[in-house]
Amino acid sequence: MTEFKKEDHPIEESKFHNKAAVGEAEDTSEEKILQQHVKDYIEELLPVHQGLLKELENYAETHSVPIIQREVAELLKVLVKTAGAEKILEIGTAIGYSAMIMAEAMESGGKIVTLERSEKMVALAKKNIQRGGYSDRIQIIPGDALETLHFLPGGYDLIFMDGGKGHYREMLDLAISLLKPGGLLVSDNILYKGMVSSEELVKRRKRTIVHRMRAYLEYITRHKELTTSIIPIGDGVALSYKKR
Ligand code: MG
């Protein structure tokens, strides 16, 4: 993928306006965290996935499954590589897309444990992970993540928090304890379509989630054990380094 110009791909243009359908099917509009032209420009620069990953991106769009956005996928690859992560914990498997993105970015011996409550998603992810050839490296643990976190052994280099947006805060203390010192906590969707940063944008049905997310961000930005940076790409990503 070398030359990618918007004018060569008129279909891409209309896709941007359909983004609201991805993730939260009931939303009719989506506030962009970045200005649209900046977001479009960054998207143009992204390498295009082929094969299974591309297929999963299409599946997610068609079936409104919330998967990580493309620019977040690239960020994850960089983080996994720079952290030299060998043990990763993911909260929220969905269809296994982000787990496979991370597995591909890891050294060959690396292992990922990923937690998913939905039986339907577990079945889909299992099939996808098998097709991707990652069954020996990605372990799905079905069930409620908060319960599972209690019995996991810990020592993770990187934890990717991408489960139910209203539940980040209750999982945080366990997640921090499972992260090794010098490890990285990556939290996705923390600006939640811009609603977290502006009271005017908050849809009534989303109020609880938004208020919980704000509490989460205030907590991780002030936490003594963490150094946190908020990145306004995708749906908002927080990077929290656990101090040594
Ligand atoms: Mg997400």
Same domain flag for 157 and 196? yes
| Cα 151 to ligand 1 centre (Å) | 24
- In DSSP terms, 87 is beta-bridged to 111
Residue pointed to by tokens 């203390």: 173
Give Cα 41 to chain centroid, integer Å: 21
| Cα 57 to ligand 1 centre (Å) | 13
Characterise 236 by phi-psi region: left (phi > 0), alpha (psi -120 to 50), beta (else): left
**pLDDT confidence of residue 4:** 42
| Cα 188 to ligand 1 centre (Å) | 5
| Cα 37 to ligand 1 centre (Å) | 22
**pLDDT confidence of residue 35:** 82
Give the count of domains, the chain: 2
| Cα 189 to ligand 1 centre (Å) | 5
Which one of 63, 80, 111 terminates a domain?
Answer: 63
| Cα 68 to ligand 1 centre (Å) | 5
Compute the average pLDDT of residues 1-11. 41
| Cα 179 to ligand 1 centre (Å) | 20
Q: Is the dihedral of CA 222, 228, 231, 236 positive or negative?
A: negative
Q: What number of helices (H) and strands (E) belong to the chain?
A: 9, 7
Beta-carbon contacts of 212 under 8 Å, excluding residues fewer than 6 positions away, are: 165, 166, 167, 168, 169
Q: Is 187:220 a contact under the CB 8 Å cutoff?
A: yes
Q: How far apart are CA 189 and CA 81, in angstroms?
A: 22
| Cα 154 to ligand 1 centre (Å) | 22
Same domain flag for 111 and 209? yes
Please compute Rg for the chain using Cα positions.
Answer: 17
| Cα 61 to ligand 1 centre (Å) | 13
Which helix (H) or strand (E) segment holds residue 88: the answer is strand 87-91
Residue pointed to by tokens 């938004």: 210
| Cα 224 to ligand 1 centre (Å) | 26
**pLDDT confidence of residue 31:** 61
* Range name among 1-10, 143-152, 167-176 with the lowest pLDDT average: 1-10
Same domain flag for 95 and 43? no
Same domain flag for 51 and 99? no
Residue 110 lies in a domain: yes
Q: What is the DSSP letter of 65?
A: -
Whole-model pTM?
0.86
Closest by alpha carbon to 89, among 70, 98, 117?
A: 98
| Cα 145 to ligand 1 centre (Å) | 15
| Cα 162 to ligand 1 centre (Å) | 5
For residue 133, how many other CB atoms are within 10 A of its CB? 11
DSSP SS3 for 137? coil
Same domain flag for 56 and 91? no
| Cα 173 to ligand 1 centre (Å) | 20
Same domain flag for 120 and 167? yes
| Cα 67 to ligand 1 centre (Å) | 6
Q: Is 192's pLDDT higher than 70?
A: yes
Predicted confidence band of residue 133 (pLDDT cuts 50, 70, 90):
very high
What's the token pair of residue 201?
Answer: 């944008």
| Cα 49 to ligand 1 centre (Å) | 18
Same domain flag for 113 and 152? yes
Q: What is the pLDDT of residues 95-113, one digit of tens each?
A: 999 999 999 999 888 999 9
Q: How far apart are CA 232 and CA 50, in angstroms?
A: 26
Same domain flag for 55 and 86? no
Same domain flag for 94 and 157? yes
- Domain span at 210: 70-242
- In DSSP terms, 241 is beta-bridged to 184, 227
Q: Is 32's pLDDT higher than 90?
A: no
